[in-house]
Amino acid sequence: EATAQKLLGERADGQARSGYYRIPLYVAAEKGHKGIVELLVDKGADVHAEGGFYGNALQAASCRGHEQIVRLLV
């Protein structure tokens, strides 16, 4: 979480895509990293951006059973 904060503070692109067209918010939501999801949303991450197997970050969090993250993204 501290590393993500530092990178975003240095203007790293929170919307950059990696393998399988996934964005950081999607990956954090899928993996259940609530603190990073909060940080990315606070920094303006597009919660509706599509990418990855499940579609978007909300769908990924929902399919993985991360209820707290689902509540953050709705």
Tell me which CATH code domain 2-73 carries.
1.25.40.20
Confidence of residue 2 (pLDDT cuts 50, 70, 90): low
As a whole-number percent, the residues of the chain with pLDDT over 70 amount to 72
Confidence of residue 6 (pLDDT cuts 50, 70, 90): very low
Alpha helix (H) ranges present in 1-74? 2-9, 24-31, 34-42, 57-63, 67-73
Residues 6+ apart with CB under 8 A from 69: 29, 32, 34, 37, 57, 61
Domain boundaries, the chain: 2-73
pTM above 0.95?
no
- Sort 9 into a burial class: Cβ within 10 Å, 0-12 / 13-18 / 19+: exposed
pLDDT in tens, 38-71: 989 988 889 999 888 899 999 999 999 999 999 9
